[in-house]
Chains A and B, each alone.
Chain A
Amino acid sequence: MTASVYLAAVGPEGLAQVARLCAGHAHYLAEKLAELGFAPMSGKPFFNEFLTSCPVDAHQLVNRLAEHGILAGLPTHDGILWCATELNTRAEIDRVVSVVKEVCDR
């Protein structure tokens, strides 16, 4: 029910904009993380979620982000899974990246 109200509210144009925002934000985040040494684990296209290597301890990184009020990154057995959506903003993503950089620089 909620999903059908949502789809009717956003309509065809809104849904496409959601996709543009999701993909744009995720690719922007991936690019910034790659500059810090978080290499994509797959060369294949991705939408709003992507797996990277994690040059620092993934759990420590996630905890540090949480201390900054950011829940980002899901540690996996060989890296870390990231995600960005239409609800995020460029400023928020920049904040995530700055905290990640701070952990990497330690």
Chain B
Amino acid sequence: MKLLFERSVAGRKQTIFPDLDVPEATFDETLIRQSAPRLPQMAEVDLGRHYTELAKQTHGVNDGFYPLGSCTMKYNPRVNEQVAALPGFADIHPLQPEETVQGCLGAMHELEGMLAEICGMDAMTLQPAAGAHGEYTGLLLIRAHHLANGDTGRTKIIVPDSAHGTNPASAVMAGFTVVSVPSDAQGGVDLDALRAAVGPDTAGLMLTNPNTLGLFDPNIVEICQIIHEAGGLCYYDGANLNAVMGHARPGDMGFDCVHVNLHKTFSTPHGGGGPGSGPVGCKAFLAPYLPNPRVVERPDGTLAFSCDEQSVGKVRSFYGNFLVAVRALAYILTLGREGIPEASASAVLNANYLAHFLSEAGYVLPYGERCMHEFVIDVGPLKAETGVSAMDVAKRLLDFGVHPPTMYFPLIVHEALMAEPTETESRETLDEFVGLMTGILKEAHEDGERLHSAPFTCPIGRPDEVKAARKPHVRYEFDEEG
């Protein structure tokens, strides 16, 4: 399709701005640009059609099933968008006097309280911009705690080998050294390896529960005890909170701090519709270290921003992605006390339903059919038999308007497809997916070679994804630049 610059026609424009109603300001010639900016010149109707075309070439949650494991691609309710667009929330500035944004402070305060309740924490900050940013913030709290105790030798963060890749990355960013502990045969943390790994240099543990295999670690209380007895703190990566919200709380499992992904568990848009948001919660003893400023209630009942001298400082400008927080608040208020646990129960039920029927169809589930909100398929045996890889299966799904499951993650399953249907999908959608996957299995056995070329109906088939990530070509080059 044509790019905006290729659709541009000289002199074409939209009339948006009024004429100048005051004397024109004059500037020294040296401060004025000599040529007009090279921007597209278009009519509104053509602009609308251009972006509609781009949207058609993009698969989103509204286009079809999106079982991208660990990403919790649930439906983003329209009412949340309407609430976030209210002028009192949308048309404000972060430097306005507090007296003029009491409603916004109220929304932040309420959301912090509700997230703290769901997580079993005592305090929250909405400042981190996404999950990994939340991890980093949580680790800064852990570091501040140890340093405040004069405990400068705690330099190591323990991370299980099934962890999200962001966990070790965040630990290194926060100045720690990472110690990896292996999983046991059931996919949980190997307790003996954990006991051997802890010591006086242990700053803490980062853990996702349920983990990336979709398994709830039955030893979670003991795991936290081992870390605490060694003098470390426990960080809960809340990326998979959608499996347990309303049923189990990280704070009750023994965790000291946690992040949640509003763009996963709390239904706010990912990607293009984002941005993300990764609020961090902690127990009371870590609260003084939370990023400044925090929303506090004054004695007269009004709300204000307050700074603490012990804070790790700001981790983002102003107060985080506020309008994302508003959407999450609308979601929690819509679901309420009964809806929150119902949502996670349905997410787990959907995943188990899908796991069962995919297993019955002939796919190998290395950790069994029982799972929490997501599960891992091992395409390794199919590849050995037919040559068809996890990549081939994933690419073939694109032809049917389905976004594939997460590929090649977790790393401990080499030909992994990790599927997370979420609670918002109907039984009919899950059945259709099983039908598609069954069909692909049949194709693999009949003509596996052909699947190496899938997809067959998409605008592009198999891009060089490494090059696309490392050397993205996103700048338009005008003719005269060659």
Contacts and interface: CB of A to CB of B under 8 A. Distances in A.
Interface of A: 1, 4-5, 7-18, 20-21, 23-28, 45, 62-63, 66, 71, 74, 86, 89-90, 93
17 contacts: A1-B272, A8-B39, A9-B14, A9-B42, A9-B44, A11-B42, A12-B38, A14-B16, A24-B24, A45-B28, A45-B31, A63-B99, A66-B99, A66-B100, A71-B93, A71-B96, A71-B100
Given A13-B36, A15-B37, A5 B97 contact: no
Interface string B26-39: 01100100001111
Most chain-A CB neighbours within 10 Å: which of B14, B21, B25?
Answer: B25
A87 to B, nearest CB: 10
What range describes how many residues of B lie at the interface?
20 to 34
B271 to A, nearest CB: 10
Contacts of B38: 12
A90 B23 CA distance: 10
A24 B41 contact: no
Contact of A11 (B20, B39, B96): B39
A16 B17 CA distance: 10
Given A20-B20, A21-B20, A11 B41 contact: yes
A13 B39 CA distance: 9
Contacts of B47: 5, 8-9
Nearest to A5: B51
Contact of A90 (B12, B21, B40, B42): B21
A25 B22 contact: yes
Contact of B13 (A13, A71, A90): A13
A26 B97 CA distance: 22
Nearest to A15: B37
B44 to A, nearest CB: 7
B139 to A, nearest CB: 31
Most chain-A CB neighbours within 10 Å: which of B16, B31, B50?
Answer: B16
Contacts of A17: 17
Contacts of B97: 62-63, 66, 71
Contacts of A74: 95
A8 B4 contact: yes
A-B pairs with the 5 shortest C-beta distances? A23-B25, A28-B22, A27-B25, A12-B36, A90-B21
A25 to B, nearest CB: 6
Given A8-B42, A66-B100, A74-B95, A14 B14 contact: yes
Contacts of B41: 11-13
Nearest to B5: A8
B31 A20 contact: no
B5 to A, nearest CB: 9
A24 B31 contact: no
A15 B35 CA distance: 13
B44 A90 contact: no
Contact of A20 (B13, B14, B24): B24
A12 B95 contact: no
A9 B39 CA distance: 9
B176 to A, nearest CB: 35
Given A8-B39, A25-B22, 20 more contacts: A1-B272, A8-B50, A10-B14, A10-B16, A10-B17, A10-B39, A11-B14, A11-B39, A12-B38, A14-B14, A20-B25, A21-B18, A27-B23, A27-B25, A28-B23, A45-B28, A63-B97, A71-B96, A71-B97, A90-B21
Nearest to B50: A8
A21 B41 CA distance: 20
Contacts of A71: 93, 96-97, 100
Given A5-B51, A66-B97, A71-B100, A11 B17 contact: no
